Amino acid sequence: MTGSSVINGEKTSISAADQADITVVFGRTGTPESAAHGVTALLVPMDAPGLTTNRFDCHGQRAIGRGSIFFENVRVPVNHRLGEENKGFVQVMHGFDFSRSLIGLQCLAVARVALEETWEYITQRQAFGQPLSAFQGVTHPLAQFDTEVEGARLVCLQGLWLKDKGLPHSAEAGMAKWWGPKLAYDVIHQCLLCFGHGGYDRGPMEQRLRDVLGFQIGDGTAQIMKTIIARTRAGRKFVPA
Ligand SMILES: Cc1cc2nc3c(=O)[nH]c(=O)nc-3n(C[C@H](O)[C@H](O)[C@H](O)COP(=O)(O)OP(=O)(O)OC[C@H]3O[C@@H](n4cnc5c(N)ncnc54)[C@H](O)[C@@H]3O)c2cc1C
């Protein structure tokens, strides 16, 4: 790459697309055959000539928003390159092994708050002459989810601990990323039901449900995470796709 790079195309489904001042673009600089080893990272100002955005109507995370970024002959000077030429994809994958544990913790924190509010609520709300907490059908699902949230949190922390020690942690990051958001969604769903009709109103519980759902997709879906875990355990050549 010399002088400047010219970017053309669309990248869709970008968080904060219409709010960001700068974006990191991963563009193909090698041949198609070079696959993951022919991608370069570039820092692109969002006010660059030829760059436009739109905004989607999202189910959750509405304050952040999501949209497409369109590039029409967007020219970027060579000194905006991040890291080495053609190494962008490999670089970002290391970052994913970090962010995936953080996403797990982010979702589990929302689940933890939902549980705390629900434990409190079921001691206050009276039904059939007793607090809801007197009914095993109400408390046992919460007790089980409380247990699972503690377990999933430890998996996320294990991934971060391994990273700090400079040890392999792709499998743990994959576990944190698929389990944390999925579990958080299931926990909040159960909590919402404990609030009865009130849980279905616009409010914190339904918003939490919408907000964590996006994390089951963004940054890699559960299927991709499970493939990463399987490749780590069984070996890449035995788990082709
Ligand atoms: C809230 C949110 C925020 C996002 N923010 C960003 C962002 O800031 N930047 C960014 O670049 N992207 C962002 N994304 C996009 C996100 O990374 C992709 O949507 C995600 O990686 C899935 O890709 P896809 O939508 O193309 O689904 P597809 O690849 O079309 O997959 C569709 C379904 O098929 C399954 N599938 C696909 N391939 C396989 C396979 N090989 N084996 C098994 N199952 C498979 C998937 O798991 C999924 O269930 C965001 C998405 C969301 C929802």
What's the pLDDT score for residue 3? 83
How far does residue 154's CA lie from ligand 1's centre (Å)?
A: 26
In this structure, the residue with its CA closest to atom 2 of ligand 1 is: 218
Average pLDDT by consecutive 10-residue portion of the chain (241 residues)?
85 97 94 92 97 97 97 96 91 90 98 98 98 98 98 98 97 98 98 97 96 96 98 95 72
Ligand 1 atom closest to residue 241's alpha carbon, by position in its atom list: 41
What's the pLDDT score for residue 1? 46
How far does residue 133's CA lie from ligand 1's centre (Å)?
A: 40
In this structure, the residue with its CA closest to atom 28 of ligand 1 is: 221
How far does residue 160's CA lie from ligand 1's centre (Å)?
A: 24
pLDDT per position as a tens digit, 21-64: 999 999 999 999 998 999 999 999 999 999 999 999 999 999 99
What's the pLDDT score for residue 2? 59
Could you tell me the domains of the chain?
4-82 (2.40.110.10), 88-238 (1.20.140.10)
What's the pLDDT score for residue 90? 86
Mutate to test the pocket of ligand 1, among 100, 221, 226 (most ligand atoms within 8 A of CB): 221
What's the pLDDT score for residue 93? 85
In this structure, the residue with its CA closest to atom 17 of ligand 1 is: 218
The reply to whether ligand 1 has any atom less than 6 angstroms from the CB of 13 is yes
CA proximity to 117, closest of 95, 146, 90, 78: 146
How far does residue 219's CA lie from ligand 1's centre (Å)?
A: 7
The reply to whether ligand 1 has any atom less than 6 angstroms from the CB of 14 is yes
